[in-house]
Structure 1
Amino acid sequence: MRAVTTRPPAVDVVLPCLNEAEALPWVLERIPPGWRALVVDNGSTDGSAATARALGATVVHEERRGFGAACHAGLRASDADIVCFCDCDASLDPGRLVPFVREIDRGAADLVLGRRRPSGRGAWPAHARAGNLALARMLRRRTGLRLHDLGPLRAARREALLGLGLTDRRSGYPLQMVVRAADSGWRITEHDVPYLPRTGASKVTGTWRGTWHAVRDMSRVLAEARPCEGGAR
């Protein structure tokens, strides 16, 4: 009898990018072998797109500014079975996504999230951590999910993600993904991941003002009406 071999799933890693040329080499060299890096350039002026191409990544251009706009452009550009998301600022190691993908591939979960664990001074400013905690509590009240973090490191099947009909194109995109997945009855799990001091200045939560804008965007997502019926996976 011949041994049965299982081919590994096709995986794309979406990397929303705005002026991250300095961090890109560190991030891209940690993409697991056989996976494709989709760097979504969101209007960079520091040569990020050229750097990404030179390092072997596929570059997608998204003119509309916004974290969600970049993430969704990458999702739409992907043709892989499983899509991962990771920040492009060297604060998170995309190599940590391997067990996420394994869990999705074997059908143990529908959406896997990374719970950030600060590693190094300044990795997660107090104001950003406080905002994340407040949102996690609001999410628990809204969905019943006992998640600790709403971080950007995550994995799910591409077709299922597209089926969620995500509409937020700003900071609320990651939260809308979780809320709509929960409303659709998805199995959502969480894994601890090291969170490192980022390279360069944060575009979202690096300041109190940025954190406030992110919390405001996400609060709007939490205010969305629940569907009358759970959506299909």
Structure 2
Amino acid sequence: MKRIAIIVPTLDEAARLGRTLEAARRAAEHAGLEYELIVPDNGSRDGSQALARRLGARVLDCPGMNIGALRNRGAAASSGDCLAFLDADMEMPPDWLTTWRAVRAEDRAEVLGLLHQAPPEAPWYARAWLQRLAAERDRPALLDWLPTANLCLERAWFERVGGFDERLRSGEDKDLGLRLGQAGARLLSLPRPTVLNWGFEGSWGEWLGKELWRQSSQAQLLRKGRASLRRLRFPLLAAGHWALDALALLGLLLGQPAAALGAFALGWLPAVLLTLRHRYTRQRPLLAVRLTVLHWLRLHVAGIALLMGLVDLNARRPSRG
């Protein structure tokens, strides 16, 4: 490992980008790595490009592209033998790349992602939603895929699988991870060192809109013949969830309140089961209640996203709250 390219796609992220680039630079210097900072910019109008240049980044002007295409352009423009993809709102710890070097030196994995958490000032729903990931990944684990909020891998693996699928509006990170795994790469999630995620949702509208956007690629995968049962488990669960809602509504219309109440109550079961998958929620009842509500809402949003995708309606990523 000689040189790492740190690729940070951005669109109007001036309020957060400086923190991200400074932390990435410190981590590279702490690890003793040659590095390059590359910022593929999607048409920012808030000074993000000028800020990135002042902090030593190379800015690529890439208006109108989706997130997968932005990351691919950054990788293509880089010269590092390793690639690190960051969201523009991630504050990486100083030992981030030292950890990556150790993972490769010990041959523990070919791809690395670290857990991230929201800062204390984030709303409860944003903090709880990230705590669900902490509950799932509270120890080192090899996973099927890792989010590209922070992701390290060698260029050879990235090129072997053809990079990100630029046809996908969202879910491109899951798609990349599954293809890397199929090619033989090991994807390691570590709970520490912890990353601070400053891109938390500032409003309910932003949280719901972001979930709608995240789920919007499922119908695309279905249409392109790349939707395995594993990938479609959650959308199918969401469709069943909406079917129970429809039964509850039908029961009310037919004057059968008991049947309606039963269908409505049954509709909460998937959310409860999704919450109870997280081991430590069983000892934290308030967090369990919060996550159950969030899972219930997410199932509704996923059903809407699946329907929108089937009729070729795009869900846009919401503006910052």
> What TM-score, normalized by structure 1, do the two folds share?
0.73
Tell me the residue number matched to 1:125.
126
TM-fit CA distance, 1:74: 0.9
1:149-228 matches, cutoff 5 A: 150-165=147-162, 166-168=164-166, 169-192=168-191, 193-196=193-196, 198=198, 206-217=206-217, 220-221=220-221, 223-224=226-227
Tell me the residue number matched to 1:139.
none
- 2-side partners of 1:129 and 1:200: how far apart? 9
- 2-side partners of 1:125 and 1:107: how far apart? 34
- 1-side partners of 2:154 and 2:184: how far apart? 15
Tell me the residue number matched to 1:230.
none
- 1-side partners of 2:180 and 2:19: how far apart? 31
Q: Amino acid of the residue matched to residue 79 of structure 1?
A: S
The secondary structure found in structure 1 opposite 2:158 is helix
Task: Say whether 1:15 aligns with 2:13.
Answer: no
- 2-side partners of 1:190 and 1:152: how far apart? 12
The secondary structure found in structure 2 opposite 1:125 is helix
What fraction of aligned residue pairs are identical, expressed as a percent? 22
TM-fit CA distance, 1:154: 0.8
1:45-56 matches, cutoff 5 A: 45-56=45-56
TM-fit CA distance, 1:122: 1.7
Q: Is the 8 A contact 2:112 2:151 kept in 1?
A: yes
Gaps of 5+ in 1: 1-7, 137-144, 227-233
Shift of the 206–86 alpha-carbon distance from structure 1 to 2, 3 Å rule, reads farther
- 1-side partners of 2:92 and 2:128: how far apart? 23
Q: Is the 8 A contact 2:41 2:70 kept in 1?
A: yes
Task: Say whether 1:26 aligns with 2:19.
Answer: yes
TM-fit CA distance, 1:147: 6.1
> What TM-score, normalized by structure 2, do the two folds share?
0.55
- 2-side partners of 1:201 and 1:25: how far apart? 19
RMSD: 3.5
- 1-side partners of 2:129 and 2:217: how far apart? 14
Q: Which has the higher contact order (CA 8 A, sep 6+)?
A: 1
TM-fit CA distance, 1:14: 0.4
- The structure whose Rg is larger is 2
- 2-side partners of 1:130 and 1:119: how far apart? 11
Q: Amino acid of the residue matched to residue 184 of structure 1?
A: A
Q: Is the 8 A contact 1:104 1:155 kept in 2?
A: no
Instruction: Point out the structure with the larger helix share.
Output: 2
- 2-side partners of 1:221 and 1:71: how far apart? 20
* Cα-to-partner distance string for 1:123-173 (whole Å, 9 max, x where unaligned): 77268559979xx9xxxxxxxx64696351110011220221231453222
Q: Is the 8 A contact 1:16 1:42 kept in 2?
A: yes
Shift of the 224–92 alpha-carbon distance from structure 1 to 2, 3 Å rule, reads farther
